[in-house]
Structure 1
């Protein structure tokens, strides 16, 4: 079922704010602090003494050369004493000098001045010291010295944890150096301090979050164990094909009396299991048929490849689809079906060009095949190619007006298009979108997905009672549709702000289908909203969802949720900020 998921950004990292010892600061400019400070005092005193000496010598020469006026009293000329600057004033002067060098592009000289300012400034003047460290970090940034940028920002933030410029600069440096966890925590802190009002910070947070999730998913996806999805998921996938030769052969077999046949081979046993929705064991039966190299080996390979695909065994699935497509004298519908599934696998692996090429080949072979347009339309929605998706789904509907999945997907594509056009405009969902879903429900009253998506749209439009009724009907039609239960639970939260009822309904979804990844994802998000005390439970739920995720991109999304939640809560705790959550809702 194409379910629109909406989850907010929340976010973890160990904060590496280790203090930079002052002897290291001294070494950075080539001399210990005591020597630098003593040297500055010595030079200043010597300059004053030299000035006084010169004045005395000039005065002596003048008095010698000038004739004295008769009876003229000697003049007492007071010495102009130089005003002593305080250490804070001296530090500010060095900073100002550094700023001039910085503006002139003389970054090494600027660093030297900022270092002097740091060494001179009293330790108690934390605000000024923080600024000096940050200014020096900015100069190091110009010199592309990422390590020193991070170290100076660490010091600036140790002195002033809410220093937004330092947080932003360290986030950038950490992102460049590959420390995405720290980068995410820093940019999250900036977003919180800005009240999530700065688009640039939000874009940065989204980029870092996405990169971190992808990096973790890439590693985890390699280690994941194959798992059979729920019966509802498999049934929904199989029902999205109108012209799958193997599925249709299974239906024909099951339509015979009691589903029995004179055939006793492994492939036919697999077809019987397919029709009876006894999906475990199908792969093994197909493997047996293939090993015996019977006349049905190619069909068995297509069926096995389909279940490898459903079980996330992508390498094995690709090999089977390639073998099917390499077979001689292959039936047209077998070839098109294998191309659709191989194309879908490529797109799932984000090899979009290869995947779309397979769909294009399938259309050239069989331009009237509904399945090609339907599945390409589905993938175009996923790739945000909405206009292409709408054209594909209109084509699918024109080929077969009674195929419910294409009608529902078309309504979903129209919904997504309208939502993108209204983004940021705070306008209600157009009536045309609701009517499109309503038409699907009227045409296919027994199709659960049509009602479930209509219910979601009604909820988005604020028509909560109608939405709840449609969810109830959808669940009645498909009692094992756990995803519909999850959305009904979310509706209670949106409608009644009742977290307890929402959680109870979503837990029922997990009881119904322990493999419903979306239920764990939503429960994890709700746990995050309860505050730091629920973090361990939230992470546990996100990890469960990750273990059940079907694709690397889904896994990346889930890692992003987990990392986002931890980082926001960590930042709030460190900065002493109370984040708004759902804890105040009805319980």
Structure 2
């Protein structure tokens, strides 16, 4: 199976759904609500709040947004027999009027008076007054005061989400990302993950924190090759790249000593990858017969080690050299485009694929890999077209046929078409009979059956995928996730996923999945260890950013759950 079809996530759970155990998706564009709606509000300070003084400063009733001196705004309306709480509420009401008129200094004085008057045992009211005063400070950009007042409000009312979110925004302004994330996480948990602005802010904090951590860690990482199984799986995603097929190996005479690229090619087919780069370098330095093939193979192995900066010069040189075979140049563009996609630059990725089409329009690998990128970009209709083109050019490429079938299934899901859904499922089943040795066909059919609730059939097909490729760990991980969803068998699922690590101890997909399960079980130490293992294996800075985001989210969730005395909920229990 080609691991990159499913992605490192191995499923449809989002970062927040996994790491923070939420049940609702993150809104992409939350609508803006009214910023301040104060039927209940408040503030702190020992200053007095007088409408008469304010009228002098504002220029009387003719000034824009002037505050009325009648009703609640008139201090003469306060009755001698009012209780302290009633007097405090009256001061708060005057503060609200000043706030709405954008007279924030006067609003602060009124909220401060309310705090001074309010009885100490009226904690809910006091919390409101402090929160309102924080709102006025926020309008003035006084974020230290915002944090102080919100903290007091939360001390009085520990589940006061409005104060928490306001404090979170103040922390964001001050650049305190972790403190911001703690408050937004608390807001999201307390409001059942229905606070859209909180979700969006928390997601941004996770990305920024993850990016900062990954940037430093990635700079100091020790490059390493992935497992041999991963390398084989990667190369199998190309029908003909010009370097990995045995048919491309020139005949070798008995006793002939292999050097340079031919030696690298032999090592590749023997599964001995450590010296491939050095032999390619030798071929390039001596301008050997196979220097272009050596450039491509050397760059490919640098990409596999997560050393994109070392791969790019070779890819660039090959792409611009018109003397090189167009198949090699197109493959270099495919790999550079995929590298751009891993870095989050989809525009550059698609530009490289368009250039590859210009160079070698009949190359099926271009459309196969562009189809995968279109799936990642949720451009499912474009992915279907690319896979169709790939199959037209090479009708015997089982992997591409399987992915074409699955893309059609995804498109039917999006269009909610029962007829297209039926046709797509039939196409997936046909793939397994037409290409009975293609493990990916069985795995993708199982994935679709899992989503359809056909658990028994899905399990059978994952088993077949395992039998076809016993050295491929990803089917074990997907099967574990199936059992988690189907039987709610956490222990059994973990055992299946750990089986993947027995096969390939460098399976980052397995480590990440185990980490997310341990988060949901509340085993944060185990989760962090799994995430750390995955981080060590990350091949790109973007992968590392994602993993750090998961790890940080898990740590913060655990901290907030303990603070609020809330047990993390598991969606599979």
TM-score range, shorter chain: 0.7 to 0.9
For residue 412 of structure 1, the aligned residue among 406, 413, 420 is 406
1:351 is displaced (CA, Å) by: 2.4
Q: Please tell me whether residue 151 in structure 1 is matched to residue 148 in structure 2.
A: yes
Matched, 1:460 2:451: yes
1:131 paired to 2:128 = yes
1:582: Cα distance to partner?
Answer: 6.8
Residues 364, 555 of structure 1: alpha-carbon distance in 2 compared, 3 angstrom cutoff: same
CA shift at 1:392, angstroms?
1.2
- Of 337, 347, 350, which aligns to 1:353? 347
C-alpha change, 1:548 and 1:172, in structure 2 (3 Å) is same
CA change 1:450–1:281 in 2 (3 A) is: same
Aligned to 2:37: none
- 8 Å Cα contact 1:376/1:392 also seen in 2: yes
**Once the two structures are superposed, what CA deviation does each residue of 1:37-75 show, in whole Å capped at 9, x if it has no partner?**
9x99xxxxxxxxxxxxxxxxxxxxxxxxxxxxxxxxxxx
What is the distance in 1 between the residues matched to 2:301 and 2:91? 70
Counterpart contact for 1:11–1:563, Cα < 8 Å: no
C-alpha spacing 1:328/1:430, structure 2 compared with 1 (3 Å): closer
1:161 is paired with a residue whose SS is coil
Map 1:43-192; keep pairs closer than 5 Å.
83=80, 85-192=82-189
> C-alpha distance in 2, partners of 1:282/1:354?
29
1:567 to 2:556 alignment? yes
2:406 touches 2:445 (CA, 8 Å); kept in 1? no
| SS state at 2:144 partner | helix
TM-score w.r.t. the length of structure 2 is 0.83
1:430 partner SS: helix
Q: Distance in 1 between matches of 2:474 and 2:79?
A: 80
Cα offset for 1:127?
A: 1.4
Match of 1:10 in 2: 19
Give the Cα–Cα distance (whole angstroms) in 1 for the partners of residues 165 and 227 of structure 2: 44
Could you tell me which of 441, 466, 469 is aligned with 1:475?
466
Q: Does the CA-based 8 Å contact 1:346-1:352 persist in structure 2?
A: yes
Give the distance between the partners of 1:243 and 1:314, measured in 2 at CA. Answer: 22
Unpaired runs of 5+ in structure 1?
Answer: 13-27, 41-80
Aligned to 2:378: 384
Q: Does structure 1 retain, via aligned residues, the 8 Å contact 2:449–2:458?
A: yes
Q: Distance in 2 between matches of 1:304 and 1:105?
A: 65
1:118-144: per-residue Cα shift (whole Å, max 9, x none)?
233333332122111100111122223
Say whether residues 1:233 and 2:239 are aligned partners. no
Structure 1 match to 2:282:
288
Q: Any conservation in 2 of the 1:499–1:582 contact (CA below 8 Å)?
A: no
Higher Cα Rg: structure 1 or 2? 1
- Alpha-carbon distance in 1 for matches of 2:98, 2:465: 69
Give CA-to-partner distance per residue, 1:357-389, whole Å, 9 cap, x none. 221111112111111111111112122222222
- What is aligned with 2:325? 331
Unaligned runs of 5+ in 2: 22-43, 51-77
What does residue 539 of structure 1 align with?
528
Match of 1:264 among 258, 261, 276: 258
Separation in 1, partners of 2:452, 2:105? 59
- Are 2:292 and 2:328, in contact at CA under 8 Å, matched by a contact in 1? no
1:245 aligns to what? 242
State how far apart, in whole Å, the 2-side matches of 1:309 and 1:504 are: 32
2:158 & 2:510 partners in 1: Cα distance? 37
Q: For residues 260 and 279 of structure 1, do their structure 2 counterparts lie closer, same or farther at Cα, with a shift above 3 Å needed?
A: farther
The 1:129/1:414 distance shift into structure 2, 3 A limit, reads same
